[in-house]
Amino acid sequence: MLKLAPALTLTLMLGPVAAGLFGTLLPAAGYVPALGGTAMSREPLRLLLGQPGIGQSALLSLGTGLAATLGAFTVVVLFTAAFEGSRFFRLLRRLLSPLMAVPHAAAAFGLAFLIAPSGFVMRLLSPWATGLQRPPDLLIVGDPLGLTMTLGLMAKEIPFLFLMLLAALPQADPLRSQRVAASLGYAPVAGWLTTVLPRVYPQIRLPVFAVLAYATSVVDVALILGPTTPPPLAVRLTGWMNDPDLSLRFMASAGALAQLGLSLFAILLWICGERLAAMLGRRWIEGGRRSAAERLIPALSGSAMALLATAMLAGLALLALWSLAGPWRFPDTLPHHLTLRAWMVHGPAAGDAIATTLAIALPVIAVAIALALACLENETRDGRPVQHRSLPLLYLPLIVPQIAFLFGLQILFLMAGLHDTLLAVALGHMVFVLPYVFLALSDPWRAVDPRYGHMASALGASPARSFWRVRLPLARKAVATAAALGFAVSVAQYLPTLLIGGGRVSTVTTEAVALAAGGNRQLIGLYGLLQMLLPFAAFLLAAAIPGVAHRRRADGEAAA
Amino acid sequence: MTDALVFDQVRIVLAGRALIALDRKISPGEVLTVMGPSGIGKSTLLAYAAGFLDPAFSAQGRVLSGPLDLTRLPPHRRRLGLLFQDPLLFPHMNVGENIAFALPADLRGRERRGAAVAAALADVDLAGFEARDPATLSGGQKARVALMRVLESRPRALLLDEPFSRLDAALRDQIRRLVFDKARARGLPVLLVTHDRADAEAAAGPVLDFGSPSAADQPAASAASDCSRP
């Protein structure tokens, strides 16, 4: 059974991606007999290209995605270069780690509440500084260039890239590298950029690609913060796909393939950028320049990081405040009074959404954890790590834009009669939960001293007993954390839930995003808060599980 | 009485390069010491016998306990008691659970198992330590618990991988004596791998030194036959 685990895991993770891409390809070529398309044609593509503003939509997706990724990457790298090891660095590390679990949509709503014309910042400044009695007529949220959307994506991707970088850092031996560089006369930032970055970058490259693919094809953040005239490509595709007019699906599928091409093109551009950076870096190393804007970089990266972290936290606090707000007119800084009205009125409906969210997430993480443990245990018993061959495969579902294969998957589930079911949605979530669970679990699992397992066997414990009594308990903290992360990933899924559920499966995330178009801020605050609280609760539970190193001393008194 | 532990033409190979080779019998109650610099595969030899050979290595030959070919058994049925440099007490179990984990399953009944644990602890002057967290023990106490844990699993033989090297000098002597006394009292064959000459002397048994110049040149073929057979 255990031998089958890796194959089964890959099938559950990559099968839907491959099948979905195939299922997207057929209607894109005009072939879906059920919808009356029986012959291959270029008609869907022609229709797509004929849509007004389609080029602008594509450019918007490409531009915002690249800018957000490059911005987040630059801030994270320069911040780490300037501050690694400092108290400020540790503070931000503590602040940003939990933010990674916040779903994109909740972060985007929080940001909107903060910087919108009627948002908190404007209220703080009005009327004493601005003289405004009414919200200014500015298009801050939904600006046509997608600047706010870019900012929102940046703010949300920074914690992710930061944590990925932190996980990769120890292997690059940053402290000693920097000491050697310093002894050779390199200033801190220059030393970090020339000796540490080249060694950590290969390890964060796949996460960067995942961010790039996500940011160029994002739907939920774009619906909340993005422009509408026209919206980015992925938003328009989703609209067509959910249109009652089924004939639009041919064009939507052609668009999904175009989206795939667009995201791959963004990655290609990034790879060109990597080459360029490597060339410039070599030249720098050969030239031996000892400093790199040693004042400007800490000042800029430090303030950018602090500002974005503050904005995220303030936005999330605003979600909570709005969910409890009574009348809150502009330019009042705070609500007139607090009330539980929104919670009383919408509580039952929200309860249903929470129940659906849990009904999907809990079985998915149970299966994902079991599969990941089975793969790792199989690897332990074989004594051969499979890590290096399989790592790009793990990232594949994160690098192919969701929309490109979810369309096809929706059609395949439709043909299998599984459409709109919780099972189908759960299978869709599995594709995204499995990689994260596996990534979160594999390093701590492999870090456990293998001699514990050997010792258990030598003491006569069967392989199963060694697993249940020794290896699993030693990794229980990591298992709990991986489960919480998997839960957070499942809760945050918007597009898979919407498309595979056919709009009939309502989780807290689909409900929250659906509220974006309306103006009920109390309700948005409520759902945004729920979106955030569910993963936090999971991580709190995981934190309550004692790690082995923190085991309480069984009898302190007797020990004395 | 236990059976002898026999290494029947065992050879360890790393990437086509012959490392250590061993072909001899260790009688019950005898301590055979294998010495040599690091990198010649001493620990790998133990790992092979216990069934944990790293896939980077390959090995030939059989390890027998009396007539029983252990190399054909899965690791957990070989019952070769391992002691490493580190005591490796399971950190998620208390001291008593660590020992109970090792007790054979055919010793049944909570009370009887509890009594066996208590007796084992009392045997090394740790009576009443059952509920202690291993992390709160001193180095010498951990070493004693680790020793009793391995003995209570009723091993066919002991494989010691530099088990004294992490202990400070005063303690080392005491633990060394304890281990050898217990092993002899139970008539266990012992294979000790070390690079500390004092270990070999305390073991008071035959010594195979793979570090001697003649052996270092051709470790695989000649070392075992070069060395002192009793």
DSSP B84-98: -SS----TTS-HHHH
Most B-contacting residue of A455, A457, A545, A551 (CB-CB within 10 A), to test interface: A455
Note whether A510 and A330 are within 8 A (CB).
no
CATH number of the CATH domain containing B183: 3.40.50.300
Q: Which of B142, B141, B143, B130 is nearest to B100 (CA)?
A: B130
- What is the pLDDT averaged over residues B144-153? 93
Judged against a pLDDT cut of 50, whether residue B71 lies above it is answered with yes
Single-letter amino acid, residue A480: A
Residue B34: inside a domain, yes or no? yes
DSSP secondary structure code for residue A145 in this structure: T
Q: How many CB atoms lie within 10 A of CB A159?
A: 25
Judged against a pLDDT cut of 60, whether residue A386 lies above it is answered with no
Residue B63: inside a domain, yes or no? yes
Residue B218: inside a domain, yes or no? yes
ipTM surpasses cut 0.85: no
Cα A391–Cα A394–Cα A400 angle in degrees, nearest 5: 120
Low-confidence winner among A62-71, A379-388, A475-484, B102-111 (lowest mean pLDDT): A379-388
pLDDT on residue B223: 39
User: Closest to A452 (Cβ–Cβ): which among B50, B51, B88?
Assistant: B88
Residue B130: inside a domain, yes or no? no
Residue B187: inside a domain, yes or no? yes
pLDDT on residue A170: 86
CA–CA separation, A320 and B6 (whole Å): 72
CA–CA separation, B163 and B85 (whole Å): 4
pLDDT on residue A417: 84
Judged against a pLDDT cut of 70, whether residue A34 lies above it is answered with no
Note whether A4 and A422 are within 8 A (CB).
no
For the record, the structure tokens of A316 come out as: 């999330």
Q: How many CB atoms lie within 10 A of CB B225?
A: 12
Judged against a pLDDT cut of 70, whether residue B229 lies above it is answered with no
Tell me, yes or no, if B138 comes closer than 8 A to chain A by beta carbon: no
User: Beta strands B17-26 and B5-14: pairing type?
Assistant: antiparallel
pLDDT digits (tens, 9 = 90+) for A252-291: 888 999 999 999 999 999 999 999 999 998 888 888 888 8
Judged against a pLDDT cut of 80, whether residue A8 lies above it is answered with yes
Judged against a pLDDT cut of 90, whether residue A560 lies above it is answered with no
Q: Which domains does chain A have, with CATH numbers?
A: 1-41+342-546 (1.10.3720.10), 50-321 (1.10.3720.10)
**Inter-chain residue contact B153 with A384, CB threshold 8 Å:** no
**Inter-chain residue contact A474 with B94, CB threshold 8 Å:** no
* Residue B65 domain boundaries: 5-90+153-226
Between these two residues, B158 and A407, which has the higher pLDDT value?
Answer: B158
Residue B194: inside a domain, yes or no? yes
**Inter-chain residue contact A451 with B84, CB threshold 8 Å:** yes
pLDDT digits (tens, 9 = 90+) for A174-204: 888 888 888 888 888 998 998 899 989 998 9
pLDDT on residue B218: 40
pLDDT on residue A382: 80
pLDDT on residue B99: 93
Residue B216: inside a domain, yes or no? yes
Mean pLDDT (chain B) is 87
Judged against a pLDDT cut of 80, whether residue A495 lies above it is answered with yes
**Inter-chain residue contact A553 with B133, CB threshold 8 Å:** yes
Length of chain A: 560
pLDDT tier at B219 (50, 70, 90 boundaries)?
A: very low
**Inter-chain residue contact B101 with A549, CB threshold 8 Å:** no
pLDDT tier at A504 (50, 70, 90 boundaries)?
A: confident
Q: Is A383 left (phi over 0), alpha (psi -120 to 50) or beta?
A: left
Q: Which residues does chain A have within 8 Å of residue B84's beta carbon, measured at their own beta carbons?
A: 451, 455
Note whether A258 and A266 are within 8 A (CB).
no
CA–CA separation, B197 and B215 (whole Å): 17
User: Closest to A454 (Cβ–Cβ): which among B50, B90, B131?
Assistant: B50
Q: Which residues does chain A have within 8 Å of residue B147's beta carbon, measured at their own beta carbons?
A: none
**Inter-chain residue contact B135 with A551, CB threshold 8 Å:** yes
In angstroms, the separation between the Cα of residue A480 and the nearest Cα of chain B is: 16
Q: Which residues does chain B have within 8 Å of residue A451's beta carbon, measured at their own beta carbons?
A: 84, 86, 88
Adjacency order of strands within the sheet including B80-83:
B80-83, B157-161, B190-194, B31-35, B207-209
pLDDT on residue A387: 56
Residue B143: inside a domain, yes or no? no
Judged against a pLDDT cut of 50, whether residue A509 lies above it is answered with yes
pLDDT on residue A552: 42
pLDDT tier at B227 (50, 70, 90 boundaries)?
A: very low
Judged against a pLDDT cut of 90, whether residue A357 lies above it is answered with yes
For chains A and B, count residue pairs whose Cβ atoms are closer than 8 Å: 90
Judged against a pLDDT cut of 60, whether residue B222 lies above it is answered with no
| Overall domain count for chain B | 1
Q: Which of A136, A533, A459 is nearest to B82 (CA)?
A: A459
pLDDT on residue A248: 84
Helix H segments across A169-247?
174-183, 188-195, 197-216, 220-225, 233-241
Q: Is B125 left (phi over 0), alpha (psi -120 to 50) or beta?
A: left
Residue A556 CA, chain-centre distance (Å), reads 43
Q: Which residues does chain A have within 8 Å of residue B86's beta carbon, measured at their own beta carbons?
A: 451
Tell me, yes or no, if B78 comes closer than 8 A to chain A by beta carbon: yes
CA–CA separation, A43 and B9 (whole Å): 75
pLDDT digits (tens, 9 = 90+) for A120-164: 998 888 888 888 888 888 888 888 899 999 999 999 999 999 999
pLDDT on residue A556: 35
Note whether A259 and A403 are within 8 A (CB).
yes
**Inter-chain residue contact A458 with B153, CB threshold 8 Å:** yes
A173-204 as b/e: b if 16+ CB within 10 A: ebeebbeebeeeebbbbbbbbbbbbeebbebb
